[in-house]
Structure 1
Amino acid sequence: MNSPIFEILFIHNKLNGSLERPVYLQLAEIILLSIKEGKLKTGQKLPSSRDFASFLDINRITVSKAFEELQNQGWLESFTGRGTFVSSHIPEIKPEKLQKQSNRTQKNSGFIIEKKPYLENSYFVPKTNLHFDDGFPDPKLAPLKELYRAYRNQLTRSGLYDKFGSYGNPDGSEYYKNAISQHLNETRGLKTTSKNILSVRGTVMGVNLVCNALINPGDIIVTGVPGWRRAENNFLHAKAKHIGISVDEHGLVVEELRKICQKQKIRMVYVTSHHHYPTTVSLRIDRRLELLKLANEYGFIIFEDDYDFDFHYSNRPLLPLASADENGMVIYCGSFSKSFSPAFRMGYLAAPENVIEHLTNVRVLLDRQGDHILDNAMGEIINDGTVQRYLRKSLNIYQDKRDYFCSLLGSELGDFVNFSIPNGGMTVWTKFDTSINLEKLASKAYEKGLYFSDGKAHQYPNFNANGTRLGFASSSKEDLMKGVDILRKLI
């Protein structure tokens, strides 16, 4: 029997036995498409599996499997002695509506998305051989072999069920937290135990988690200007009110903060005290003490982002605010992304125990737990001294690169740029002459094979230094020379 349904189904569709996709699924998809397009109606009876098999010259079992697949999905229903029908539970479908959409991919949703300016990120990944980046480390120096060895050890040692058979603690593995706690106590003067540590996937996650857990709509958050846009965008997304205050050669101008505190209730101050982002200046000791005093007096949180503590060249690194915090006002955040590589998303928050407990409970809503295997591997190379040896070695190399790069900037571009040799970090905050269009310069340099930021991320309504961060740590001396030569010729 040649049912007219066969013409509906197969006038534009054919089965292909040479494809990897099973024939029964191909048949099921052809029937399903005809239902969705309204060509097969609700309650319509289909030819028998015997007739399908005869018409298509395929095995009857293949047809039965196709029917069964669609029955399981609810598109067909079968009745003993009566046959197989398009499900009566499917509402009537207008063919023209679905036909119009059937050949296009879904680029836009059918629901409204409220677009916000601070969420418009280009996620630009430069593809040049030369780069003055945002202060990334040189991956050639990172102890990748040691980290790989430690990670492999985690996969081969005993206790597989504890590692892979169930979930672990959402605040991080105990081994990693103990390693981080001891590391912070020895190197940064903190007074922590594992209960004061929360493992996070880098600084951005730490900022976002604090916003979700401790910031309510309308809360006031104060940062320095210029500052880090990624943190500021998190504050805006939390519907907080963001207030920017000045940054000078001694860091955050804390006197401006006091004046705000006298008029408004502040919930949090975000600060990069060691090397202010983006200008790299350090917060002077009197301002550090005054900031802690204000936090105690007015009850606001200090979020201390210490993104590159380990790289300070002129003297020993300044101890973080958290080391002098006697009243539990500071949430301290660190990351290994600036030590090893941005590709490794390993970081931590250090705070009073009840804060960590609260942040952990909120973290579960987003991420049941982090990567305990990677955390344990990191903990192992902290405990065996690998990280400490790497930091000592790379510190000398980065200082040498800093001196060489600053010498090049001074000798080759001295008439067009203004900068101070940074005491630490991996970038030079460089201000260009106002006659130079930094955006155009960055675009032309990119065409020549050199990437650097055009500085737009550091511009504010009342602040534009025509400056940008020129990173030196991830480049060789030869590449630094080539990059500066490109800038010299363009300028």
Structure 2
Amino acid sequence: MIAYQRLLTIDKTAKLPAYLQLANQMMSLIRGGELRAGQKLLGTRQLAQFLGIHRKTVVQAYDELLAQGWLESRTGSGTYVVENLPEIKPQPLVDGQKERRNPAKTAGFSFDALPHLWRPALVSGQELHLDDGFPDPRLAPLNELTRAYRSNLLQGNRYVRLGYGDTKGSGWLRRELALYLNETRGLKITEENVLITRGTMMGLYLVATGLVKKGDNVAVGALSWSGANMNFLQAGANLLQLPIDEHGLVVDELEQYCQKRPVRLVYLTSHHHYPTTVALRADRRLKLLRLAEEYGFIVFEDDYDYDFHYLSKPLLPLASADPAGTVLYCGSFTKAISPAFRVGYLVGPENVINHLAQLRRIIDRQGDLVLENSFAELLQNGVIQRHLRKSLREYRERRDVFCELLKTQMGEYLDFQIPDGGMAVWSRFRKEINLELLAEKALKKELVFSNGKHHDSPSNALNSTRLGFASSTVEELEKCVNILRNIILKGA
């Protein structure tokens, strides 16, 4: 009886009904071995008296446990823990306390933690930010998107609109995307060449899982996006790191690799290389396509920041000049609109798209069909196109102001090239500046930016990082640069 009073407690202020509190605690005692199989329980009146609760509460708790099969009632004898439970030995006491693992924190089974998957998640929060190159959601056409979403949610045949759809994604969006990409990227595709994804990362995962085998060689830049590298490593690929210079990927090095060993895939951001923002020169583009056709490897072209080019009409993507069907072209609306809207696309030959759509089905049956149709409506009505033109003008102004601030206020502390496009400046800090410490001190002043450590290799500490300008107003950019300069000058 003392044990009952010690192990069973009822919180009368809790939202959970008292009888469920009692039932749950008794289930825990049975699971832990404190109440054994076949053990007789106190009568409802007696237990209610010891716990200081109404007898009906105990009756309800017992009924709940009887219904769930934890207890059994024997006519004329009482209520017992069921006999057919496995034998459970109570855990030993250590220093008067039970030695018990917290199952919410630590699993009861082993698994391998894969180091290549460790990558801190980017989370918005600080008022001031020089991020990795994100859009400004304050410019997003949210009113138009809200109206389109409401319309697609409420109108039309709801069984069709709100039911299961094509694994490849909304047919409407795939048609509108094919038209849009043909017009803006020089592609020659139909909706059958388009697979809707939840962003570039999903496109990478599908390609790495569905087209790359363990032991395959995948070529990436020595400076490249870690998110892509993670997917290829997860697939068991060997990463071949190619040098990057002021004209992008050094394709001659790739040719030398191909002459020595088979290459399965080449990943690149041809328009604005990540993280340096440089564009792949035209002669290298042509040679890369020739090599892909000659050696039969896949080119995964990441449509990174394509819509934001500030000098002249941007170079057309590799996919627009692909004569052999070797290029897979992948992009998303996360940089054009906002990262919150997970709508992306993967473009490729029909047989590849069909193959990857089957793979997508077993990890994500389909995306948000209502959201996809809403984006299709915005593309059809020209809303996204107008938003991109407006954003381009705004981001160009912010780039110009930011680069002038870096030159005049920070020029003695870092080097950079004014980017032709994109939403960030690749900044190379002087070696005497501790970039990690600078980022820590800036965070204390409500300014967040990356310390650039994830761009380093074991043999090369770059002391460089991307400083994003697009998501901040001119006034906010001025505050950011002032904070950085004051920390460097004053050390705090």
**TM-score higher than 0.5 here?**
yes
User: Against the structure 1 CA distance between its residues 47 and 436, is the aligned structure 2 distance closer, same or farther, given a 3 Å change threshold?
Assistant: closer
CA contact (8 A) 2:5 2:50 kept: no
Please state how far the C-alpha of 1:107 moved relative to its aligned partner.
1.6
Residue in structure 1 matched with residue 211 of structure 2 by the alignment: 214
Q: Determine the C-alpha separation between the residues in 2 that align with 1:54 and 1:454.
A: 63
SS in structure 2 at match of 1:96: coil
- Out of 321, 325, 330, the position equivalent to 1:324 is 321
Residue in structure 1 matched with residue 147 of structure 2 by the alignment: 149
Residue in structure 1 matched with residue 29 of structure 2 by the alignment: 34
CA contact (8 A) 2:222 2:243 kept: yes
SS in structure 1 at match of 2:91: helix
1:23 pairs with 2:18: yes
CA contact (8 A) 1:126 1:451 kept: no
| Deviation per residue, 1:334-355 (Å, 9 max, x gap) | 1111111122211110111111
1:275 pairs with 2:272: yes
| Deviation per residue, 1:391-438 (Å, 9 max, x gap) | 111111111111111111112222222111111101111112222222
- Out of 406, 415, 423, the position equivalent to 2:420 is 423
Please state how far the C-alpha of 1:49 moved relative to its aligned partner.
4.9
Structure 1: give runs of 5+ residues left out of the alignment: 1-5
1:344 pairs with 2:338: no
Residue in structure 2 matched with residue 191 of structure 1 by the alignment: 188
Please state how far the C-alpha of 1:66 moved relative to its aligned partner.
2.4
CA contact (8 A) 1:9 1:30 kept: no
Please state how far the C-alpha of 1:17 moved relative to its aligned partner.
5.1
| Deviation per residue, 1:370-404 (Å, 9 max, x gap) | 11111111111111000111111111111111111
SS in structure 2 at match of 1:262: helix
Q: Determine the C-alpha separation between the residues in 2 that align with 1:18 and 1:324.
A: 70
Q: Determine the C-alpha separation between the residues in 1 that align with 2:56 and 2:161.
A: 45
| Deviation per residue, 1:158-200 (Å, 9 max, x gap) | 2111122x32222111111111111111111111111111111
CA contact (8 A) 1:308 1:425 kept: yes
CA contact (8 A) 1:176 1:375 kept: yes
Q: Which moved more, 1:178-187 or 1:76-85?
A: 76-85
- Out of 66, 69, 93, the position equivalent to 1:71 is 66
Q: Determine the C-alpha separation between the residues in 2 that align with 1:84 and 1:363.
A: 52
Q: Determine the C-alpha separation between the residues in 2 that align with 1:57 and 1:68.
A: 19
Please state how far the C-alpha of 1:466 moved relative to its aligned partner.
2.4
Q: Determine the C-alpha separation between the residues in 1 that align with 2:46 and 2:70.
A: 20
What code does the residue aligned with 2:145 have?
Answer: L
1:284 pairs with 2:281: yes
Please state how far the C-alpha of 1:44 moved relative to its aligned partner.
1.7
- Out of 457, 466, 484, the position equivalent to 1:487 is 484
1:311 pairs with 2:323: no
CA contact (8 A) 1:430 1:470 kept: yes
Q: How many residues align?
A: 485
Structure 2: give runs of 5+ residues left out of the alignment: none
| Deviation per residue, 1:283-337 (Å, 9 max, x gap) | 1111111111111111111100012111001111111111111221111101111
What code does the residue aligned with 1:199 have?
Answer: I
**Correspondence 1:237-386 to 2 at 5 A:** 237-386=234-383
CA contact (8 A) 2:310 2:396 kept: yes
**Correspondence 1:41-120 to 2 at 5 A:** 41-49=36-44, 62-80=57-75, 83-97=78-92, 100-101=98-99, 104=102, 106-120=104-118
| Deviation per residue, 1:241-261 (Å, 9 max, x gap) | 011101111111000000000
Q: Determine the C-alpha separation between the residues in 1 that align with 2:209 and 2:11.
A: 52
Q: Determine the C-alpha separation between the residues in 1 that align with 2:193 and 2:271.
A: 21
Please state how far the C-alpha of 1:128 moved relative to its aligned partner.
3.0
CA contact (8 A) 2:219 2:263 kept: yes
Please state how far the C-alpha of 1:356 moved relative to its aligned partner.
0.9
What code does the residue aligned with 2:87 have?
Answer: E
CA contact (8 A) 1:197 1:349 kept: yes
RMSD: 2.2
What code does the residue aligned with 1:253 have?
Answer: V
CA contact (8 A) 2:5 2:51 kept: no
